[in-house]
A and B are shown apart, each in its own frame.
Chain A
Amino acid sequence: MNSSSSHSVASAARSPQQSELWLTRRLKSLSRHHETYVGLVIIILACLITLTNPSFLTLENFFDLLKSYTFLGILAVGVLIVLLSGGIDISFTAVATVTIYATMSATLAYGGNIVTVFLMASIIGVILGLINAVIIYFFDIPSIITTIATLNIYYGLLTVWAGGKALYVMPDWFAAFADIKVLNLVNADGMPYNLSIIPLIWLAVIVVAWVILKYTALGRGIYALGGNPAAAQRAGFNILRIQLFVYGFMGLLAGIASVVEALLAQRVMTNSMVGKELDVIAAVVLGGASLAGGVGTLSGTLLGVALVAVIGNGLTLMRISSFWYNVFIGLTILISVGASAYRLKLQRRRAYVVEVE
């Protein structure tokens, strides 16, 4: 989808007939991508919302959305990579909760700064993620069962340790970091608005994940493992190393996301994240990632998160009660997964017909 603009410039030089052929080909290839449909739905929704409330299509609203969906967006990147490898992780909300509670407790007790907070959260997150990977790899236990178990263990132990107490007093420098603005602008009414530093953390995560998936042997290994584990092993990929990376990276991102959540809320609760794991997985699935592994893209995942954000934001702007939120998300998921499953089914049926002939 990214390359379509550069192609359209080139096509102007072609003969009309050629360009028509090119266009049909291009449209056909686009219609095969799940991302195209998600993108179209987002555009249609955006038009509908803008018609009711023009403030949807403003840079101000866009910056706000970026900030409030950074938490979900970072976790979605981690979940995508786990799904690509053919696994699943349910425990990341518990990992995030443990990480931020431990990090901020230590910081409040012994002092620190924003760098030590991110560092400590990353380390704890990675360790908890690696524990998942070790159990999954060495005992051959399905990842869904392992991570359901570790979710209960991590969360249960943390709640016992914390005694249900939340941390309400954050250091001044912690609040100051959350207030950093990278871009100050003024809207048409003369009101100032800004881009927070928080979405930049998300951007950094996306870039790192993109480079790993696209340009490293590790990234290829993740797709290979998800596509066909036996073949990946025969092809010489080190399965242990890939599994360690995948779940460790999920843990790392859970740690970073938990710091983001604390920066936004300026407090640490023990019960604010656990229970949201399926929402994150739903966003990734909306973006076209397959739970069978090997299928899914970073751009699709970002579109999935965007779709969830547009639906949530749209309901608010169109003054529809937030009670309807789940109904809309649920319907969107069912239609999305239903349509792509049905397309696959038709393709398979066509393949059978060819075989018979």
Chain B
Amino acid sequence: MASRKNSELITLTAMMVAVFVLMWYLNGNAFIQVDTLQSMAFQLPELGILSLAMMITMLTGGINLSIIAAANLSGVITAEILVHYVAPDATGSGPLLIIVLAIAAGLLVSAIVGLLNGFLIAVVEVSPILATLGTMILVKGVSIVITRGYTLSGLPEPVLYIGNGLPGGVPMPMILFLLSAAVLALILNWTRLGQYIYMIGSNPVACRFAGVNNASVLVRTYLISGVYAGIAAMIMIARFNSAKADYGEAYLLLTVLASVLGGVSAAGGFGRVSGVVIALIILQLVSSGLNLMGVNTFLTIAMWGAILIGVMVINSLNERYQLLARFPLPRSRKSVSVSQG
């Protein structure tokens, strides 16, 4: 198994280098200027942290369709508090305290959404796709009711720093993304919870008979997923200087795309944070490179879809080839089991 994981990482890294070289070649030195790299580092983290939120649930064999809705609700809650109690140009420690409280409230809300998902999936035993589809619609509805469909804008300066700050030349969102990725990698690779998450994804029944409390692991998984959505929300509202019920809905399917591209199995049990990070870099390189060439954004979206299918086809052919090499079939070729999505 270890060799399979590594070969996937090697494929991804090679692909990343190839895409980088290709984009460099196509764009010339404009592609490696500090400006370009910085703008990439500003753009990647939103989708990146949301992808991590998606990834951890996919590792257990689940999915979390409510991440964007949860992110928007926590953004709306934070922005609602800030817009009412802090003037955009406020200074001093009083407003700073309110800002901290507002962010805490936003993160708390996304944690609650995560707990609700966890409860539905682990205790009521609703399938993850249905439970999170329901919470997605419900949570978005709550955001719409709170904002009455309007955009909340005019956030104070310290909040904007989360999305636009450049401490030491490194964009603040990038720092938050790297921290989030590191923490998640730590949880997955070094804690018991992480090990249980992979076990549940591989075989939930075996996991239970091994004495693991599956329900508790699932609740904590969806809780982490919710909190990560909340962190992404803070970057999102800071970058847009506003919050709305339906920001970033196109991200939802992209987070699945980034996870799968990064080697996370849709059936659960396999996938590494490093793979997802590399996949995100590939997507960002493609998007920024094409953007620099003046290519239509929608062509980029189509390209991402094509890359996803390409990677899956290569993996599938590779697996089949290895299988055939080990167990050659003399006559009929068609005995590969039919797996369903």
Residues on A lying within 8 angstroms of B by beta carbon are 86-88, 90, 135-137, 139-146, 148-157, 159-160, 225-226, 229-230, 233, 239, 275, 278-279, 281-282, 285, 290-293, 323-331, 333-334, 337-338, 341-342, 344-345
A239 close to B338 (CB less than 8 A): yes
Interface centre among A136, A141, A142 (most CB of B within 10 A): A141
Q: Counting chain A CB atoms within 10 Å of each CB, which of B134, B145, B316 scores highest?
A: B134
Q: Which residues of A contact B301 (CB under 8 A)?
A: 152, 155-156
Contact for B340 among A142, A278, A345, CB less than 8 A: A142
Q: Which residues of B contact A145 (CB under 8 A)?
A: 256, 260, 266, 308, 312, 341
- The A interface, classified by DSSP as helix, strand, loop or mixed, is helix
B234 on interface, CB distance cutoff 8 Å: no
| Cα separation A156 to B174 with both chains bound (whole Å) | 28
A136, A140, A146, A290: most-surrounded residue (chain B CB, <10 A): A140
Contact, CB under 8 Å: A156 / B141: no
20 pairs of residues in contact across A and B, judged by CB atoms under 8 Å: A90-B253, A136-B341, A137-B338, A142-B266, A144-B256, A148-B256, A149-B257, A149-B312, A150-B309, A152-B253, A155-B298, A156-B300, A160-B296, A323-B145, A324-B145, A326-B138, A327-B138, A327-B145, A334-B131, A334-B135
- Closest beta carbon of chain B to A79's beta carbon, Å: 13
A153 engages B305 (CB within 8 Å): yes
CB–CB A333/B137 < 8 A:
yes
Beyond A152-B257, A233-B338, A327-B141, list 5 extra A-B contacts (CB 8 Å): A86-B341, A142-B339, A155-B298, A160-B296, A326-B140
On chain B, the residues within 8 Å of A141 by CB distance are 309, 312-313, 316
* Interface pick from B24-32, B97-105, B118-126, B199-207: B118-126
Contact of B127 among A142, A143, A226, A291 (CB under 8 A): A291
Q: Confirm or deny: B1 has a beta carbon within 8 angstroms of a beta carbon on chain A.
A: no
Min CB gap A292→B, angstroms: 7
The complex places the Cα of A50 from the Cα of B332 at a distance, in Å, of 63
- Using known A-B contacts A152-B302, A323-B149, A324-B141, determine if residue A140 contacts B339 with beta carbons closer than 8 Å: yes
Q: Name the contact of A334 in the complex, choosing from B120, B149, B309, B312 (C-beta under 8 A).
A: B120
Say how far B121's CB is from chain A's closest CB, in angstroms: 9
- Is B144's beta carbon under 8 Å from chain A? yes
The answer to whether B139 touches A139, judged by C-beta atoms less than 8 angstroms apart, is no
Contact A323 B257 (CB under 8 A): no
Give the distance in Å from the alpha carbon of A156 to the alpha carbon of B137 in the complex.
Answer: 25
What B residues does A330 contact at CB under 8 A?
Answer: 134-141
B317 within 8 A of A: yes
A residues near B260, Cβ cutoff 8 Å:
145
CB-contact partner of B305 in A156, A291, A337, under 8 A: A156
Known: A87-B341, A285-B133, A329-B137. A140 touches B253 (CB 8 A): no
Q: For the complex, what is the distance from the CA of A302 to the CA of B304, rounded to whole Å?
A: 35
A143 contacts which of B139, B256, B313, B340 (Cβ < 8 Å)?
B340
Q: Which residue of A lies closest to B256 (CB)?
A: A148
Taking a contact as CB atoms under 8 Å apart, the answer to whether A86 and B340 are in contact is yes
How far does the Cβ of A196 sit from chain B's closest Cβ, in whole Å?
29
For residue A73, give the distance in angstroms from its CB to the closest CB of chain B.
19
Partner of A153, one of B140, B306, B313, B336: B306
Q: Please, which residues of chain B bring their CB within 8 A of the CB of A281? A: 133
Using Cβ atoms and an 8 Å threshold, which residues of chain A touch B144? 323, 326-327
Query: In the complex, which residues of chain A have a beta carbon less than 8 angstroms from the beta carbon of B208?
Result: none
4 smallest A-B Cβ distances: which pairs? A330-B138, A326-B141, A156-B302, A152-B305
B127:A149 contact, CB within 8 angstroms: no
Q: Smallest distance from the beta carbon of A335 to chain B beta carbons, Å?
A: 9
Q: Nearest Cβ in chain B — how far from A352, in angstroms?
A: 13
* Cross-interface CB contact of B302 among A144, A160, A323, cutoff 8 Å: A160
Q: Is B65 an interface residue (CB 8 A)?
A: yes
Taking CB atoms, residues of chain B closer than 8 Å to A292 are: 127
Task: Name the A residues within 8 Å of B303 (CB-CB).
Answer: 156
Q: Is the CB of A149 within 8 A of B131?
A: no
Known: A143-B341, A145-B341. A275 touches B308 (CB 8 A): no
Question: Are the CB atoms of A341 and B296 closer together than 8 Å?
Answer: no
Are B129 and A291 interface neighbours, CB within 8 A?
A: yes
Cross-chain contact A331 with B298 (CB below 8 angstroms): no
Name the residue in B127, B142, B305 with the highest tally of chain A Cβ atoms < 10 Å from its Cβ. B305
**Which of chain A's residues has its CB closest to B319's CB?**
A140
By the criterion CB–CB under 8 Å, are B305 and A149 in contact?
Answer: yes
Instruction: Identify which of B133, B135, B256, B336 contacts A140 (C-beta below 8 A).
Output: B336
User: What residues on B are CB-neighbors of A230 within 8 Å?
Assistant: 337-338
Scoring B residues 314 to 341 as 1 if CB is less than 8 Å from chain A, else 0, what string do you get? 0011001000000000000000111111
